[in-house]
Amino acid sequence: MHPEDPTTASFTPTKEIAPEPKIDPHHLGAHITETGVAFSVYAHQATAVELCLVTPDSDNNYRENRYRLRGPENGIWHGHIPGIRPGQIYGYRAYGPWNPDAGLFYNPQKILLDPYAKAITGTPHLGPRLYAHQVNDDLRPATHELKPDPLDSLPDAALGVVVNTNAFPVNDRPHTPWRNTVIYEAHVKGFTRTLPGIPPELQGTYAGLAHPVAIQYLRDLGVTAIELLPIHAKFTEPFLQQRGAVNYWGYSTLSYFAPEPSYATERAQSLGPQAVLDEVRGMVSLLHLAGIEVILDVVYNHTAEGGLHGTTLSLRGLDPQRYYVWNHGCPNQMVDYTGCGNSMDFTSTQVVGLMLDSLRYWAGEVGIDGFRFDLGVTLGRNRDQYAVRHPSFVGMATDPILAGCKLIAEPWDIGPNGWQTGNFPTPFADWNDRYRDAIRGFWLTDGSAQMHGRHAHGPHELATRISGSADLFASIVPELDRGPGSSINFVCAHDGFTLADLVSYNHKHNEANGENNRDGSDNNHSWNHEYEGHVLRGRQYSNDPKVVEQVVQVAPLRLRNLRNMWGTLAISAGTPMVLAGDEFGNTQNGNNNAYCVDSPLSWLDWNWLPWQNALHETARYLLQLRAKHPVMRPDCFASGTPVQGDKLADLSWYDRDGIPLTPGAWHDPRNRVMQMLRSGTRWNDVDLLVMINGTMDQVEINPPVARSRVFNLMWDSSWPNPTTRSEESPDSLGVSGYDIDLADSLAPTGTEGDSASGGGLAAEVGLVPGAGVDLTGPATELPVTVRGMTSKMSAMSMRIFFAEIPDSPCEDSQIDLLNVLGKLRNRA
């Protein structure tokens, strides 16, 4: 029993020794046996470790029974307590030297969370009790020389709870191949917090994510895997708590085994930790049943305990020298490769084992399909050097449970040699920041440069990224030769601008974070299109003609560039990842680092305007098109030559006149109009032609010579909505009745007089109004293109075509065109 006065008598090791465990003590954590529970914990430098079985009473006080564990055996303390079952609350008290100069902070006044606890009682309560050393009211060291704190931390600490980790079976994994994978990065709370159709009691919870409304939305969009921001139990950094903020994203891990309880429903939280774990496993099971994989963002690079003067919650009190990286030359200084105060030491077998055990638990017992490793370079460090054959990676690659999971690296940290994109071994995939910057650069920063008379870039970087980034993911080193699927292609992620903000802001606006806009990156590769802020979130309804004119001048190109980036992602070799909400233009009002904002700013806003509905249809259409056509998602690198049995090169690039690009053209900033032709033979699919105009001018373009002279237009980024296939209009922008020309001139330049006009072709093939194929407009609006028929493309736009093979191919391109148009008429 602990009185209200927080000062307690100093603990001394109890004489009651726990019975010998009946299982191998190397199985760390709490394990239920037939007669009780076996406990094992690693604390190599401790002189004694006690298991504390805790029972709360009605007055919120605690009764604590302590058992001295046996050991150490290879640093492990262990024991078996008969008669206890799931639901038991427990922690550890570790005895040992107090020597801050050597990085040792043993203080048995601090009850410690089991690093292997599968569930926790809740979040620790920040205060002086959580510090092993004495602190003042500001939680800073009270003395220059750190002194042990006499306060018992039990009332404020998070404790472990014994739970049944297999209360019910989880549905089998979907095992979606990489080539078919589309990843959707989302926050458990933010995704469903205001999603219509989700019952209020389920919004923002694990159960809400598994609700049929949420699942149907993901399936309709074309998502095959949802990548969740961290759901490991977290503890918000003290500096945030002191100003009333939270670590909303969750990159401040308290436990690598226990799920974050605050994302569970209130009912589950009231029922206790077992119900919280069951809700997580139930979520995974229902997503599996719908064919959706679950990938967890995991943070093994650092913990919530902070730097040298941080809290003592778990690892710091058990064996800080084995778990964290310290300066060998100055053993009381922690080395920080992460920017978060501490770094886990992956030269320690104990740290590698902790990570592997955690991964196996989440994959094997919770049913998780894959993991995205935050600051993944830290996991492969031999201190200052990164090692591609690090034991961490070898362990994952050879583990029978983990080798079949999707393993994704964030391939950088802030330490020496910290950028390693492309240098993770098989079976890892990497977040491709080169892809992100190339797509943003081509469509946005280069667009801005042209607008202001500065030089833009040529097509080399864009073409390399669209083609799968062979410079990063192809290698003569076997473990680095991974194929294009290992490139996680993304334009936006949780840290950075949303897609809509990317085209609306030149500068970050992070005032809501409370750090005077100092946090967050300044390297955004964004373009506000000459107006800082959004114009289609209310300004279009203004009664001021000048305001409406501004909307009309800015919005069309912004929206087109949103669609350009979606189109580029859809035709790129690699695995696409989209940020939740980017499919409908979600905004964070220019905040590119909303890590500590838990409010509508960081939740998805499901109140869509008309243009957002149209953008959603565009994203949905492009993902469905990609799913149906393997030629849009090649699973091997192209050689630029025909594959066996094909007459067409697997991949070729052309200029605006349909002439192959010369070596000098790749880096020529004047060459921003290009065409990509990808053969579909390898996949028994159609051939793919992509036209790209990266200039601020309308251009004439002529398709290249190909297997088929006729290509069916599948998508044009100038269309606000692929279901209507019309240009931007006052109605699509919500400014109906405003008399202004929104579109570039689309007048055609046919090569053979009237035969290139819609009316002549319509008459020749016998099309009539209502046939479903509109040939009454100019030739550039035809649903096909052929070699020799030059058409005009809008500034900063792209088009996707599929090859159409005429029923009776001949040498006359005009006859072939008419043949295909007749087929389209019959389909309609």
**Residue from 50, 279, 374, 598 carrying the catalytic annotation:** 374
CA count, 13 A, side-chain hemisphere, 76: 16
Buried b (16+ CB within 10 A) or exposed e, 98-129: eebeebbbbbbbbbbbbbbbbbbbebbebbbb
Token pair of 384 as six digits: 């200052």
Buried b (16+ CB within 10 A) or exposed e, 509-532: bbebbebeeeebeeebbbbbbebe
Name the pairing type of β-strands 699-701 and 791-793: antiparallel
Asked whether the beta carbons of 590 and 533 are under 8 A apart, the reply is: yes
Nearest Cα neighbor of 120 from 64, 63, 158 is 158
**Residue from 278, 279, 410, 617 carrying the catalytic annotation:** 410
Alpha carbons 276 and 165: distance in angstroms, whole number? 11
Question: For tokens 């009002």, what's the residue?
Answer: 589
SS3 string of 763-826? HHHCCCCCCCCCCCCCHHHCCEEECCCCEEECCCEEEEEEEECCCCCCCCHHHHHHHHHHHHHH
Alpha carbons 7 and 149: distance in angstroms, whole number? 9
Active site residue 781: no
- How far is residue 696 CA from its own chain's centroid? 32
Helices 212-221 & 610-628 angle (0-180, nearest 10): 70
Q: How many Å from the N-terminal Cα to the C-terminal Cα in the chain?
A: 80
Q: Is 58 left (phi over 0), alpha (psi -120 to 50) or beta?
A: alpha
Nearest Cα neighbor of 456 from 672, 666, 662 is 672
Alpha carbons 225 and 291: distance in angstroms, whole number? 8
Question: For tokens 């912004």, what's the residue?
Answer: 558
Alpha carbons 566 and 560: distance in angstroms, whole number? 10
Alpha carbons 460 and 439: distance in angstroms, whole number? 12
Helices 349-361 & 391-398 angle (0-180, nearest 10): 30
Q: How many helices (H) and strands (E) does the chain have?
A: 20, 30
Asked whether the beta carbons of 234 and 584 are under 8 A apart, the reply is: no
Alpha carbons 295 and 371: distance in angstroms, whole number? 5
Phi and psi angles of residue 824, each rounded to the nearest 5 degrees, phi first: -65, -40
Alpha carbons 364 and 379: distance in angstroms, whole number? 21
Nearest Cα neighbor of 656 from 640, 638, 670, 642 is 670
Asked whether the beta carbons of 192 and 204 are under 8 A apart, the reply is: yes
3-state secondary structure of 618: helix
Instruction: Please report the DSSP string for 506-526 in residue order.
Output: SS---GGGTSTT-SS-S----
Residue 81 makes CB contacts below 8 A (sequence gap 6+) with 18, 19, 36, 37, 39, 51, 53, 67
Alpha helices in 290-377 (DSSP H): 315-318, 320-323, 349-361
Active site residue 605: no
Question: For tokens 């303390």, what's the residue?
Answer: 77
Nearest Cα neighbor of 75 from 113, 115, 28, 118 is 28
Give kind and range of the element (H or E) at residue 561. Answer: helix 545-571
Nearest Cα neighbor of 28 from 306, 360, 338 is 360
Q: Which residues are catalytic?
A: 374, 410
